[in-house]
Amino acid sequence: MSSRIVVLISGSGSNLQALIDAASTPLLPSARIVHVISNRKAAYGLTRAANATPPIPTSYHGYPPYKTSHPSDPRGAYDEDLAKLILNLPEDQYPGLIVCAGWMHILSPKFLEPIETAGIPIINLHPALPGAFDGAGAIERSWEAFNRGEIAETGVMIHYVIKEVDRGEPIVVKKVELKTGESVEDLTARIHDIEHVAIVEGAKLALEKRKSESS
């Protein structure tokens, strides 16, 4: 059973770094990060992958050209090609798990269906509790809701990816107490620290589940 992981990123890659650091340690035993794909050319996560030991192969898969080449359905064409990119990786980079780690693109059935057919689970990190603050800006929205007196806690979850945004089955859920007087920047930093732990735990559990289901 493959413990190879492909990671999808859009930005700085701090959660990618957490996975790189944990791979092949007791936190994420036997796992290897084998390929990193970014939808942004300048994403620092690509540099993190290149600086890993050994260096991790990377790909840039940008969305803007699809608006011109496939004006009727750019997202569908983009997602279809993203699935092909992953499914056509060389054998030593073919994943047993795909991790969305700060991947700022909603994956459509054009991506999800061929990946599901191939039997590769996909997990995502989302900085909110299940069913709360789906989609972008979750940390800011939870901070605003707290300051309106509507909630007392938020959280971080790792969940399986389905077509409904941030609604897949949770794997790891960590609650985060909200603090009076805390700035949104300080809350963001605190949540990022929790994300780095949660994403490693989620990847480990997803790999273990896949292994048990195939045995």
Q: Which residues are catalytic?
A: 126
Question: What are the beta bridge partners of residue 4?
Answer: 32
Strands 4-9 and 97-100 come out as parallel
Chain CA centroid to CA 119, Å: 18
Contact call for residues 94 and 2 (beta carbons, < 8 A): yes
What are the structure tokens assigned to 39, written together?
Answer: 């939808």
Q: What is the DSSP letter of 28?
A: B
Distance CA 125, CA 198 (A): 8
* Residue written as token pair 């859009």: 10
Q: Between β-strands 32-38 and 4-9, what pairing exists: parallel, antiparallel or unpaired?
A: parallel
User: How far apart, in whole angstroms, are the C-alpha atoms of residue 113 and residue 115?
Assistant: 5
